[in-house]
Amino acid sequence: MTKFILLGLVIWLAIYVLKRVVNQSNSQPSNTPAPSDTGAENPETENPETENMVQCATCKVHLPRSEAFLVNSNFYCSKAHIPNS
């Protein structure tokens, strides 16, 4: 019985070590520089595909800024939500 327990522990340890090695190699490729620890990174420069979200002044729905209508410094999700004034 102790042989099975010892064998199970050895197999578990081998799997644990292999997972750690694989995770470390996948987490940071060797050809990319390490991220700086300054904490003052600009989110727009980290991922150029991201975009600021804005909230519709009428229905409070959040949408990408490029899809919103800007009227009198307020954002709207559609032309139907823009007040007539």
Looking at residue 37, the DSSP 8-state letter turns out to be: S
pLDDT of residue 54: 94
Tell me the whole-structure pTM to 2 decimals.
0.43
Average pLDDT over residues 13-40: 73
Whether the CA torsion 22, 26, 30, 35 is positive or negative: it is negative
pLDDT band at 23 (very low <50, low <70, confident <90, very high): confident
